[in-house]
Amino acid sequence: MLANCLKHTQMSRSVSGEAGSVTCEVSVSRKRLLRALACLTLVPPLFAVVPAAAAGPELRRSGDDLTLTNGDYSVVIGVSPFSITTKRAGRTVLATASAGAFDFTGPKGSRTSPTSVRRFGLANGVLDLTVATTDRRATLRVKIKPEADRYGLETAVQGVKATRVGVHFDLASAGHWYGQGEARSDAEGDPHLLQPWPLDAARGKEQVNDPAFGPASYLMVEPFWFTQSAAGIYVDTGNLMHVSLGRERKGVADLSVADTSSLKTTVFVEPTPRAVYQDYIGIAGKPEKSDAPPDQFESPLWNSWAQFYNDVDQKSFLEYARALHAKGLPGHTMSLDSGWMKHYGDFVFNDKFPNPKAMSDEIHAMNYRFGVWVTQWINMDADNYAIAKQKGYLLKSKGDPSKPCVVTWWNGEAGLVDLGNAAAYRWYENNLRDLQRRYGIDGFKFDTRFFDEGCAPAKGLTAADYRRLGAELADGFDQQSVGVRVHWTGAQKYGFVTRMLDKGTDFPSLQAAVKQNLAVSTVGYPFVETDMIGGSMGQAPPSKDVLVRWAQAAAAMPLVYSSTSPIRVYDQVHKKWVTYPPEVARYYTAAMRLHKALNPYIQDQVKRAVASGEPIMKPLFFTFPDDRATYSIPDEWLLGDSLLAAPVLSKGTSRSVHLPPGRWYDVARRKEVGGGDLKAYKADLGTLPLFVRMGTEDTSRLISVLGSR
């Protein structure tokens, strides 16, 4: 096509005088034929090789395309129709969608797509493209800025005002897809009950489709994706996005940013997915510390939610703590969840808690820390709502800034404390300090959003600023190992523990919990834990098998979050107590003791995470990128690089296990085995399949700790 276009092309060498600076303009007018041919005789190097600088990227004609080569990778530009294909070592690792690399929404809501390159120029190592669109008034200005292991990909709409810009990739061009964090779809119960791994594995309604993807989302999401082909995509924005992976258009990753006429992305091109991850961490940052101290990694935090839900009172909460303590179940904190406030947003205990200080004292006497649940939502029936409204402490409505913004959350309609207002921030802080002082509370579980896109931010602030303000507030008051759900590029530095979304009480929910841990670990949050062991979605309590298998899986993760007692639990659905058989507490305790035994090893991984941002719980392909089978395994992981966990995550007493190449020590069988597939590996209810990688600096220590159990 490009060759044919020469018949209709107007071209001129740039007058800048810089070496390798070339501008080409494409026109469809046949009247320019003679001028085009004359120009062609003047600048023959244009369609051979055009270096941007002596050691910089080269622009080359490749068939009907333009190819920008930079070191180990190249970016192939299809001129008409416009497309972008990324190659490494001659192999395609990422390509834009055939229906269009970009699109945008114009002023009248029309969807506009690019058609063909009208003009291009290479100067100072940057390829600058002007692309015609289906709207004759509009063009796209596309810039490609190559670096050693990535390239910047920027586009801006010119000629009309756009309200949304999207970039679109062919899912199949890059193999399997990962990243993003917690995934929302159109399936019932999602994102609590499902999580695809890899992201492209979902089908139908379960395919990723999140129209409210952004820094203020309650979901742990990140504008970063990476692929089996070792390509990666980072969308640099603080705006709301719509993310669809195959749901809106079959086979297409649609990444759209709202309220903008430009889009800034980075495409990473590396030898391995792990290298792509590290590239992103170089942008997002690594944890500056572990917010949770070492002893909180060692044993569970016990939270009241799944044990009682909102039917908790002082008597039942203390009986719960006493029973766990008497049974010798490990734990460092007793956390009182929702159900204690007079109204949501009032920092006052209701009548179900006649003596909170005595309750706190008894918890401390059992050598537990004591924490309570809080939120930034203030319900409209709360005493604090009237106070906050009168003082201007609530986020304002977008439509009418004279009124507070009213948001709907899972416990009703509420206002949201405006942390961008310094006086409101101090007021909320003082409420927390007062609770601590009165009742001896050690920390808080923050279960909230710090901003809502339906509200107006304070002047000069963005949704990302509210994320930062919320993180700074939580950092001073949080009950560390219960986690803080703060996310988006840059939030990694806080080093918070990250708890996943509430889950159901069945095996599919356990499977989703594991996959969400992997997803969040691999976007920069290494200190992960699942939802409460056994789930917490208001369903009937977990079966003994689910509870034990969940505890075993959690034992091989960085941290453990517990609620459902393995002794007995209140069945919220059938309004009765359920008592588990004695072996449940025995197996549960064994899993927690295993986790404690692993803590010295886990602490070494914590130090590595702080030093490099490396995940602690990671997919097998991070360490074994050449083992193709590892890219589609959703139920195994590495803890560090030396311990492989393959828990049973479904009903039964066996499973298939894939071991990457090399030698492994089978902890349950107490023998060394080779890599490969272990079919129908037997694991009764008391067995957690674990395998120690041979030949690492941790091998002897892990075999010593695990082999003696």
- Which CATH number goes with the domain that contains 633? 2.60.40.1180
How far apart CA 693 and CA 347 sit, in angstroms, is 50
Q: Is residue 456 part of a domain?
A: no
Q: Is residue 177 part of a domain?
A: yes
Mean pLDDT, residues 621-635:
98
Return the C-alpha torsion angle 645, 647, 649, 655, nearest 10: 110
Angle at 212 between CA 188 and CA 530, to 5 degrees: 60
Q: Is residue 137 part of a domain?
A: yes
Indicate if 602 and 635 belong to the same structural domain.
no
- Residue where a domain stops, chosen among 235, 261, 284: 284
How far apart CA 410 and CA 669 sit, in angstroms, is 47
Indicate if 525 and 597 belong to the same structural domain.
yes
pLDDT, tens digit, for every residue of 519-557? 999 999 999 999 999 999 989 999 999 999 999 999 999
Indicate if 604 and 646 belong to the same structural domain.
no
Residue 251 burial class via C-beta count within 10 angstroms: exposed 0-12, middle 13-18, buried 19 and up: middle
How far apart CA 158 and CA 366 sit, in angstroms, is 67
Strand ordering across the sheet containing 301-303:
443-446, 369-374, 333-336, 301-303, 561-562
Indicate if 87 and 221 belong to the same structural domain.
yes
Strand 252-258, strand 241-245: pairing: antiparallel
pLDDT, tens digit, for every residue of 37-73? 333 332 333 334 444 444 689 999 877 899 999 999 9
Indicate if 470 and 548 belong to the same structural domain.
yes
Locus of tokens 């002047």: 459
Q: Is residue 487 part of a domain?
A: yes
Indicate if 317 and 202 belong to the same structural domain.
no
485, β-bridge pairs: none
Spell out the residues 6+ positions from residue 42 whose beta carbon is closer than 8 angstroms to its own. 13
pLDDT, tens digit, for every residue of 173-182? 999 999 999 9
Indicate if 201 and 346 belong to the same structural domain.
no
pLDDT of residue 24: 54
Q: What is the pTM of this model?
A: 0.92
Indicate if 604 and 630 belong to the same structural domain.
no
Is residue 7 pLDDT above 90, yes or no? Answer: no
245, β-bridge pairs: 253
Indicate if 602 and 668 belong to the same structural domain.
no
The phi, psi pair for 331, rounded to 5°, reads: 175, 150
pLDDT, tens digit, for every residue of 650-674? 999 999 999 999 999 999 999 999 9
How far apart CA 158 and CA 138 sit, in angstroms, is 6
Is residue 483 pLDDT above 90, yes or no? Answer: no
Q: Is residue 162 part of a domain?
A: yes
Looking at residue 303, which CATH number applies to its domain?
3.20.20.80
- Residue where a domain stops, chosen among 284, 315, 344: 284
Q: How many domains does the chain have?
A: 3
Q: Is residue 651 part of a domain?
A: yes
Q: Which domain holds residue 641?
A: 619-707
Indicate if 574 and 638 belong to the same structural domain.
no
Q: Is residue 414 part of a domain?
A: no
Residue 706 burial class via C-beta count within 10 angstroms: exposed 0-12, middle 13-18, buried 19 and up: buried
Indicate if 623 and 606 belong to the same structural domain.
no
- Residue where a domain stops, chosen among 264, 284, 304: 284
Indicate if 216 and 261 belong to the same structural domain.
yes
